[in-house]
Amino acid sequence: MDKVNTSIMKLYMVPLLVVLVILLLVPFVLLPQLQTIRDKNLEVRIGQERLDSINSKLKILGSIDEEEERLKLLEMEKLIPSSKELASLVVGVRSLASKSDLSVVAMELSPGRVATSSATTSSSKKSKAFAAREKKEDSEKITFELTLKSKKVSNLQKFLTAIQKAKRLLGVETIDIRRDEKGVYTFVLEIIAPVRELRSSGDVVASPLPVLTDSHKRVFDFVADFINFTNVTIQKVKTGVKDPFK
């Protein structure tokens, strides 16, 4: 009888053990494999979408006049540059003032993170308010205080009109006007010159191209005829010389 029971137990135990092993293999072996297969399929789908996007982008780029786009980009770079060209900006603003019959008394620059204190030019002491503003660095603009003198207010109007047509974008924040006993006007202007620094946008290869709308084209046509007053060549000199103008 015992032999019969033992035989029956063996007959059922072997299939039960096989089923148990299979049940243990599913979560520990098969499911990870299925997850790996799913992840690989997802990578393939993302790669295919990226490839389709790149192919579509290549077709659009192939239809664009590269030289025309490059020239447009250069024109807009003059409007809002990607770097802080302080020397040409200073010379250009002084040139505009001179053409408007204004005498430049002082120009106090707050260039932000790029330039050091040696880039600040001034022939008078800085105001406390302006000195406080200098402490706040801003990488996307150049702030400067311009002090001008003239016997005519109309010369200031000429200067402001010239700035409105200047290809280098400038914004006049405040204007302070004073008149002394001799009838000479002193104009103190706070001017903002925006700068658009280039930033990395990560993976831009397969990203869609920006859409140039009619509004963008109208803006470009509007500024295309502006006057470029900062296209001046600044002669570079060696550092450490006593007289850099020789």
Among 28-37, 108-117, 155-164, the least confident range: 108-117
Give the pLDDT band (50/70/90) at residue 17: confident
80: CB partners within 8 A, 6+ apart? 169, 194, 195, 196
Count helices and strands (H / E) in the chain. 7, 4
Contact in structure between 133 and 110 (CB atoms under 8 Å): yes
Give the pLDDT band (50/70/90) at residue 121: very low
Third-level CATH fold of 82-194: Alpha-Beta Plaits (3.30.70)
For residue 133, is pLDDT > 80?
no
pTM above 0.75, yes or no: no
* Mean pLDDT on 218-234: 83
* Mean pLDDT on 144-172: 92
For residue 77, is pLDDT > 70?
yes
Whole-Å CA distances, 75 to 83, 161, 227: 14, 21, 11
- Enumerate the β-bridge partners of residue 112: none
- List the structure tokens of 181: 């006993």
Contact in structure between 86 and 109 (CB atoms under 8 Å): yes
